[in-house]
Structure 1
Amino acid sequence: MKPDLMIVGSGLTGLTAAIEAAERGRQVTLAEAHSRPGGRARSLEAPYRANAGPHAIYVDGPWWAWLERRGLTPPIVEAPRLPSLVRAGGRFGPWPAGLSEAIAALPDEAPAEESFRAWLLRHVDAKTTEAIVGVAFIFTFDHDPGRLSAEFVHQRLRRSLAGGARYVVGGWSTLVDLLVERAAGLGVRIRTGTRIPALPAGPTILATSLATASRLTGDRSLTWPSARVATFDLGLRADGGPDWFRVIDLDDRIYAARYSLADPTLAPPGHDLIQVAAACAPHERKTDAERRVQRLLDQTWPGWRAAAEWHRSALRTDCTGAVDLPGTTWRDRPAVGRGNTLTVATDQSAAPGLLAEVGISAARLALQQLSETGSHDRSLRC
Structure 2
Amino acid sequence: MEPDLTIIGAGLTGLTAAIEAAEHGWQVTVAEAHSRPGGRARSLAAPYRANAGPHAIYVDGPWWAWLEHRGLTPPIVEAPRLPGLVRAGGRFGPWPAELSEAIAALPAEAPPQESFRAWLLRHVDAKTAEAIVGVAFIFSFDHDPGRLSAEFAHQRLRRTLAGGARYVAGGWSTLVDLLAERAAGLGARISTRTRVPTLPAGPTILATSLATARQLTGDSSLTWPSARVATFDLGLRADGGPGWFRVMDLDDRIYAARYSLADPTLAPPGHELMQISAACAPDERKTDAERRVQRLLDQTWPGWRAAVQWHRGTIRTDCTGAIDLPGTTWHDRPAVSRGDTLTVATDQSAAPGLLAEVGISAARLALQQLGETPRPSSESDSRHVQGRSR
TM class by shorter chain equals over 0.9
Per the alignment, residue 268 of structure 1 pairs with 268
Deviation at 1:53, TM superposition (A): 3.6
Answer yes or no: is 1:213 the counterpart of 2:228.
Answer: no
Per the alignment, residue 187 of structure 1 pairs with 187
Per the alignment, residue 106 of structure 2 pairs with 106
SS in 2 for 1:197: coil
Per the alignment, residue 247 of structure 1 pairs with 247
Q: Deviations over 1:238-277 (max 9, x none)?
A: 1120010000000000000000000000011111100000
Per the alignment, residue 138 of structure 2 pairs with 138
> What is the correspondence of 1:260-339 to structure 2 with a 5 Å cutoff?
260-339=260-339
Per the alignment, residue 231 of structure 1 pairs with 231
Mapped to 1, the partners of 2:333 and 2:26 lie a distance apart of 28
- Structure 2 stretches of 5 or more lacking a match? 377-384, 386-390
Per the alignment, residue 380 of structure 1 pairs with none
> What is the correspondence of 1:52-67 to structure 2 with a 5 Å cutoff?
52-53=52-53, 55-67=55-67
Partner AA of 1:124 in structure 2: V
Deviation at 1:97, TM superposition (A): 3.1
Contact map agreement 1:184 1:190 (CA 8 A) in 2: yes
Mapped to 1, the partners of 2:370 and 2:261 lie a distance apart of 44
Answer yes or no: is 1:74 the counterpart of 2:74.
Answer: yes
Q: Deviations over 1:269-310 (max 9, x none)?
A: 111100000000010001100000000011111111100000
SS in 1 for 2:319: coil
Contact map agreement 1:86 1:248 (CA 8 A) in 2: yes
Per the alignment, residue 352 of structure 2 pairs with 352
Per the alignment, residue 343 of structure 2 pairs with 343
Deviation at 1:373, TM superposition (A): 10
SS in 2 for 1:37: coil
Partner AA of 2:30 in structure 1: L
Contact map agreement 1:134 1:253 (CA 8 A) in 2: yes
Per the alignment, residue 175 of structure 2 pairs with 175
SS in 2 for 1:228: strand
Contact map agreement 1:6 1:204 (CA 8 A) in 2: yes
Contact map agreement 2:53 2:277 (CA 8 A) in 1: no
Q: Deviations over 1:44-82 (max 9, x none)?
A: 001100011451001000000000010000000111111
Per the alignment, residue 368 of structure 2 pairs with 368
Mapped to 1, the partners of 2:87 and 2:374 lie a distance apart of 55
Contact map agreement 1:41 1:54 (CA 8 A) in 2: no
> What is the correspondence of 1:16-165 to structure 2 with a 5 Å cutoff?
16-53=16-53, 55-165=55-165
Runs of 4+ in 1 over 4 A off after TM superposition: 372-377
Summarize the Cα distance change of 1:54–1:83 in structure 2 as closer, same or farther, 3 Å threshold: closer
Mapped to 2, the partners of 1:59 and 1:14 lie a distance apart of 20
Mapped to 2, the partners of 1:341 and 1:328 lie a distance apart of 27
- Identity percentage of aligned residues: 87
Contact map agreement 1:7 1:206 (CA 8 A) in 2: yes
Mapped to 2, the partners of 1:64 and 1:88 lie a distance apart of 33
Mapped to 1, the partners of 2:54 and 2:185 lie a distance apart of 26
Mapped to 1, the partners of 2:303 and 2:20 lie a distance apart of 49
Partner AA of 2:100 in structure 1: S
SS in 1 for 2:97: coil
Partner AA of 2:329 in structure 1: T
SS in 2 for 1:251: coil
